Amino acid sequence: MVENNLETAKETAVTDPSIHVIEAPRYSCALAGVYGTVLGLYDAVPLLHSGAGCGVGQLFGLLYGGGQNAGGDFGGTATPCSCLVEEHVIFGGENKLGNLVDSSIDLLNAELFVVISGCVPSLIGDDVDAVVGEFKDKAPVLHINAPGFKANSYEGYELFFEGLADQLLTEKPVKKGKVNILGVVPYQHIFWKGELKAIKDLLASIEIDANIIFTEYDTLEKLNDIPAAEYNVVVSPWNGHRAAKKLEDKFGTPFISFPGVPVGPKQTSEFLRELSKALNTYSDKVEKVIGKEERRSYRLLEYPGDAIILVRPHSYFAVAADSSTAVSLTKFLTNEIGYLPDIIQITDNPPEEFREAIVREITENLETGYSPDIIFEVDSHKIRENFKDRPFLFLFGSSLEGPIAMSDFGALSVTVAFPSYNRMVLVDNYVGYDGGARLVEHVVTTFAGPL
């Protein structure tokens, strides 16, 4: 493994490798994160105040990478953009932006307009807030300042919610049994669409009304309802935490966090119990739902028994994925399928303060005496080096691993994380009671044949 001994121009000692030179990191910039988040809202349109390539670049990077998805009516080349060039660098881009916001409101069928400013306006000092302020009476317009050199795409998700809370949301009477779901980052979490719907349906089964915000129409209503929640439910070890804190500070909404989306029966039952207890709705009725669903889903998991035990029993596996996916899949495969976690590489650069909890969540909750190596790594070259000469037979990673999994590591691969150019994701996801069975389908399909 090549050591990263690089130093930046800056004088302070830097330990955070994520600010160094990196091969193919599995995330994009702040602008991209806000962009993907806004595209996840069905009636909102992102307006890029940036160079002309930022939308197209993220179509190829974030949207295709996020499960091979097209841009839709407001993504990719259809994204309104101020398309800044040299003359704007010299004379400013405010006028161009004003024209863009004005014409977008006239032209586009949307409820909410979100101006996302990138590197260029930040470097040339445009007063974007002033420009956006002029249109507040004409339509709901937000401004999210998201220069690419300031933060990454995961942080872009938080920036959106922070801006939303400050610029649009107002206090609402709290509705009992209503929660917001936070921590599923559109496109970066490639199963975002299916995961959110699965969580909503799951919670509906125990009479909790989940506002999943994304992938639904009536966006403005959904957003305005955020402060009406009794709880914010965060389903990631770090994504959505800043957003939830902001909402707590601003509207007093408490939040409860889970270390990932619930995958398979064990995690799902725990999720339902803990959440209903927090909301004071835990009852026999909840246990009845759990009992019924567990009985049904474990019957389902009898079917792959021969394939697993005759062909690939107690196999070592490796993971290269974002924190949330890595935690949930590792726990399911280890605790319900009897597989052995060999090496887990966390690729989404969680802030330092969350890392210990992520490691603990994996190591302390495994029903095996065997603990995997856990490495936080963002550099695709190093991730590849770290995987060499290990015993794993399966690799749960991205489409960066897909082409080299067999030749480099002798492993079968399943794409479960960003980027996912080799797997289209529309409704697929591993959440809930059936989620575990779906993951088993995908695992067994990599080696299935006559027994």
Partner 1 sequence: MSLGKKENKIDLSKNTCPNREQRAKGTNVYFGKASELLDEAKEGTLQCSDRKFQQSGGCVLNFYLAVRVSTIRDAAVIFNAPVGCSSSALGYRELYRAVPVELGRPAEYDLHWLTTNLQQNDVVYGASNKLKDAIKEAQTRYNPKAIFILTSCTTGIIGEDIEGTVTEIQPEIDATIVPIHCEGVRSRLVQTGYDAFWHAVLKYLVKKPEKKQKDLVNVASMLSYTWQDRLEIERLLGKVGLRVNFIPEFATVEQFEQLSEAAVTAPICPTYTDYISRGLEQEFGVPYFLYPSPMGIKNTDEWLRRIGKYTDKEEEIEELIKEEHVKWVPKLEEIREQLLNIKEDGTKLNVLGSLGQGRLVSQLPYFDEIGLKSPAAMAQDFDDLLIEELEEVLDTVGDFDIMVNTFQASEQAHVTHKVNPDVALTCPFQGGAWKRDSEITRIHALRGDADPWSAQSGYTGAVAFGNFLLQSLKNKSYQKTMKEKTATGYKDWYLEQPDPLYFLEKGK
Applying the rule CB under 8 A, the residues between 5 and 24 that interact with partner 1 are 6-10, 18-24
| Residues with Cβ within 8 Å of residue 210, at least 6 apart in sequence | 178, 179, 180, 181, 199, 200, 203, 204, 233
Indicate which single residue of 220, 421, 428, 442 sits in contact with partner 1 (rule: CB under 8 A): 421
CB 223 to partner 1: min, Å: 19
Q: Which of residues 146-185 bind partner 1 (CB under 8 A)?
A: 147-150, 152-153
User: Sheet of 340-346: strands edge to edge?
Assistant: 373-376, 340-346, 316-321, 394-397, 412-415
CB 31 to partner 1: min, Å: 6
Q: Which of residues 117-146 bind partner 1 (CB under 8 A)?
A: 119-120, 123-124
CB 248 to partner 1: min, Å: 27
Indicate which single residue of 41, 100, 131, 182 sits in contact with partner 1 (rule: CB under 8 A): 100
What token pair was written down for 36?
Answer: 């993907």
In the block, which residue shows the tokens 């806004």?
38
User: Sheet of 209-211: strands edge to edge?
Assistant: 209-211, 178-182, 231-234, 255-257
Distance of CA 132 to the CA centre of its chain: 28
Specify the stretch interacting with partner 1 by CB under 8 A; choose among 49-57, 208-216, 310-318, 433-441. Answer: 49-57
Specify the stretch interacting with partner 1 by CB under 8 A; choose among 42-50, 136-144, 174-182, 281-289. Answer: 42-50
| DSSP character string of 251-262 | H---EEE-SS--
Q: Which of residues 326-385 bind partner 1 (CB under 8 A)?
A: 381
The burial of 124, by beta-carbon neighbours within 10 Å (0-12 exposed, 13-18 middle, 19 or more buried), is given as middle
Specify the stretch interacting with partner 1 by CB under 8 A; choose among 56-64, 162-170, 174-182, 267-275. Answer: 56-64
262 binds partner 1 (CB under 8 A): no
CB 70 to partner 1: min, Å: 7
Asked whether the beta carbons of 424 and 67 are under 8 A apart, the reply is yes
Indicate which single residue of 83, 139, 220, 256 sits in contact with partner 1 (rule: CB under 8 A): 83
Q: What is the largest CA-CA distance in the chain?
A: 71
User: How many residues of this chain bind partner 1 (CB under 8 A)?
Assistant: 87
Of 134 and 306, which has the nearer Cβ to partner 1?
A: 134
Of 58 and 232, which has the nearer Cβ to partner 1?
A: 58
Of 412 and 431, which has the nearer Cβ to partner 1?
A: 412
234 binds partner 1 (CB under 8 A): no
What span, in angstroms and rounded, lies between the C-alpha atoms of 62 and 55? 10
Among 240, 196, 324, 234, smallest CA distance to 33 is for 240
